[in-house]
Structures are given as C-alpha cells and as structure tokens.
Amino acid sequence: MQPRPNRPEAKRMANGMERLTGDESGSWMTAEVQRAMKHVRRMDDTCPLCGHPLYQVTTDGDTWSPGICTNVGVFGCPGSYRNDDGSVLQTYMQKTGRHSTATEDMAKRARWSDATNFMRGHSIYATSSMRDNDLNNWKAETPEQGNALRLAQSFVADVIAGKITHMILLGHTGAGKSHIANGTIKAIAKKSEFRRKVYFVSWPDFCAATKQGINKDAQDLRKKADRIRKAWHSNAVVVIDDLGAEDSTPFTRNLATEMAYALGDRDCIITTNQPWPKLIERYGERVTRRLLDHRDKYVIRLTEQYGQPIDAEQMRLLGM
C-alpha cells in the first residue's frame, strides 16, 4: 500500500478526481475512481418522480442494471426507507417500533418499481423540471398558500381512504397549479406505499402526441398515448394538466369527451387557466359536469400563487 499523501498531494488528487480525464491520474486514488467509473454510466433519462439523474452499474461491462436514482430516500427512490422519526433506515432489521420482514421490504420495493415504471410509461410533462414539483417544496409563505397546501393534503387523505374525489385547480399560467397537482399525486403514491399508481398528463402535449401518432413515423408516440387512454379506466390517479390550452378541433374535443367520461367516477386532478364558461363553451356542459362530479370542497383558485377554495356562490359566478 502506498503511503498516505500529505495535504498538498491530497488536494492535487482531489482536483484530478474531479476531472477524471487529465494527466494527473498517476495517484492511486484517482486511478481507482477511474476504474470504478468504467462500471457506472449516466442514463439520458431522469427519474420520472423526482427529476434526479439515473445511473446504471455493471460488473462485466455487458449487462447493465436498471436505472438507479441518485435521490435516495425521496419518494420514488426508496433505496433506503425511513423510520417513523424520519431517520434513514439502512436495513429492514433496523425498523423502529414494529417488526418487518425482508419479504415485506421486498414487496414494497416491487410496488415502487411498478409505480416508477408506470409513471414513466404513462406521463407526459410540458417541461422536465416539472417532475421536481412536490408538496414538500411548495412554499406556503402566506395563509392563502398554506390553505391550498392543506386542501391538497386533505385530498390525499380522502383518496387514500377510498373516497372518489376530483380536484379542480384554476388560475393563470405560473400560478402554481401544476406544482400542487404533481406534488399531490406523488404524495398519494407515497402514502399508499405505492399501492396506488399515479401519472401526469400535459393535455396539450397529449393531444399533439395522439394526433402525431397517426403517422407511421410516430408510432412510439401513439403507443404511449394509447397506454394513457387505457389507464383512464384503471384506479391510477391522474393529473390532466392545462385543460383547454390545446388547439380546439373536433379531434381534441372528442379526446376531451372520452377523457371526461372515463374519469368521471375515478380519482383525478384537473388544472386549467381557462375561465370555466370557456370550457363549457368548448366541450359542452355534459363533459364539464363530469369533471365537476365528486369535487366536494376541492375547487381551488390560485392567483399570484395564492390558493383559496371557492365557495358555492363563487362557483356560480364562475359558471361552475
């Protein structure tokens, strides 16, 4: 074994390790890192649930592992679980307060894997950064923002309890509707220990993908759109984001009708920046009424990122 380097040498090696490609690979530590990096590669995809990079590892250089999220311990990435006090759990035998078997932990990991693959295969985001949106990073700096967060958490509890529930989020572009919606479905998946699958659909992008999928050169888009339409009839909780922002054509109106009737009696979240009367004018009252079914108290109007529930009189004035 080589002698431990002094501080200047350690600093030089640290710089070499950061570069990994320079001529300073003579140190044994940098060489070890370089050899290790040959067995690790970064994927083009990011984690569909938290947006962090995905990596793969190999032992023989030919067979690579499934994607591994670097955001360990966050929803969607249960590489380590957490105790009830929030401390990181390293092994199943360390669980606090109750006995847990390896089989139980393996079952949870299997459910997580299914939920992750489902969300990746069925979600369409307008931007990749939206995957990071979570209720934990929703900044409730005002009473109104805190109220929107509490309503979202209450919605999660109702869904977990088995109550069919719709949530409608209204507000202008940038008000935080998509953030709340994405964070809510992620919380549902986590609270259910991944027994409830969730997915996020940017409605304008979905309509465009479905239409493009008609062409032979875009069959992958069509397959994903078909998976999404099939999922409408499952118990997975979906966000339909930015309803009404798509081009209004007979094709997109038929898609909206299909979606509304499929989700009428299933848990879902709808976001829109359109006045509700405009949606009625575009899709018809029967379609919009299906979306309003089971809404209970979960109609939230966000303005300037401040969220408030809408009472019955406000709903009437909004044409709801």
pLDDT in tens, 23-45: 444 454 566 667 777 788 888 77
Domain ranges, ordered by start, for the chain? 31-69, 108-318
Confidence of residue 51 (pLDDT cuts 50, 70, 90): low
Mean of pLDDT over the chain: 75
Q: What is the pLDDT of residue 21?
A: 42
Please write the tens of the pLDDT for every residue from 76-131. Answer: 455 433 444 444 443 333 333 444 455 666 777 788 888 888 998 999 999 888 88
Q: Mean pLDDT lowest for which of 47-51, 74-78, 116-120, 301-305?
A: 74-78
Whole-number pLDDT of residue 89: 40
Instruction: Give me the mean pLDDT over the 261-287 stretch.
Output: 93
Q: What pLDDT does residue 79 have?
A: 42
Helix H, strand E, coil C: the string for the chain is CCCCCCHHHHHHHHHHHHHCCCCCCCCHHHHHHHHHHCCEEEEEEECCCCCCEEEEEECCCCCECCCEECCCCCCCCCCCEECCCCCEECCHHHCCCCCCCHHHHHHHHHHHHHHHHHHHHHCECCCHHHHHCCHHHCCCCCHHHHHHHHHHHHHHHHHHCCCCCEEEEEECCCCCHHHHHHHHHHHHHHHCCCCCCEEEEEHHHHHHHHHHCCCHHHHHHHHHHHHHHHHCCCCCEEEEECCCCCCCCHHHHHHHHHHHHHHCCCCEEEEECCCHHHHHHHHCHHHHHHHHCCCCCCEEEEECCEEEECCHHHHHHCCC
Least confident of 56-60, 90-94, 217-221: 90-94
Q: Which of the residue ranges 7-21, 76-90, 176-190, 208-222 would you say has the lowest mean pLDDT?
A: 7-21
Query: Can you give the pLDDT at residue 6?
Result: 44
Q: 108-318 in CATH: which number? A: 3.40.50.300
What integer pLDDT is reported at residue 280 of this predicted model?
A: 92
Beta-carbon count within 10 A of 81 CB: 17
Q: Is the pTM of this model over 0.85?
A: no
According to the model, what pLDDT value does residue 185 have? Answer: 96
What is the mean pLDDT of the segment spanning 60-74?
67
- pLDDT reported for residue 316: 53
Distance CA 245, CA 283 (A): 12
Q: Does position 301 have pLDDT exceeding 70, yes or no?
A: yes
The pLDDT of residue 288: 92
Per-residue pLDDT of 4-22, as tens digits, reads 444 334 333 333 333 334 4
